Amino acid sequence: MRTKQRRLIPTKHLQSAAFGGDLLKNSNAKNKRPFSPRAAIHVVMRTRSAFSLLKRGRRARIAQVVAVHARRQLVHVHRFANAGNHLHFLVECREQERFQNFLRAVSGAVALMVKREETATRTAESFWLQRPWTRLVAASGRAFTAVWRYVDLNEIEGGAWGITRREAQAIQYGDLGPPRPWLRR
């Protein structure tokens, strides 16, 4: 049986399709979160406290929460990275409602899990620093590959304490640095 090939979205339509995070820090949303069933979505969720997502072996439990809710909401997670104070996702979803349910469920479950384990010192303030930031990315091509590598880079940085961005890039690219198409090696 042949699978139906997806039509890709031209990247010129996706340039301004970002929502949340610092863009809505001091106000309420005036428009809907951009969504396309044929595009991948880069999502970033930031916490208030540094390394709160890595304490006491939370990395595996958070990955399990993400996997359970992705399966439940039919969201395909291409890449996931826990960087300590923020989470990165590269996901695809066919229905906007399911994607929003996924964001709600993951943010609530992670916040509840961490707040249960923490002492009651920060009960008054919210766990998340800002709304989840999302950006549409063409489902293949350079933009998709760039976000894929960026999420992987954040996973490397989050996996080792005190590692710099340059050291993470050296690990990721095998001490050769990022690929440069204009240079021949």
Q: pTM here?
A: 0.75
Q: Nearest-CA neighbor of 45 among 110, 130, 165, 149?
A: 130
Residue 127 or residue 118, greater confidence:
127
Q: Domains of the chain, with CATH numbers?
A: 11-24+31-139 (3.30.70.1290)
pLDDT band at 123 (very low <50, low <70, confident <90, very high): low
pLDDT band at 40 (very low <50, low <70, confident <90, very high): very high
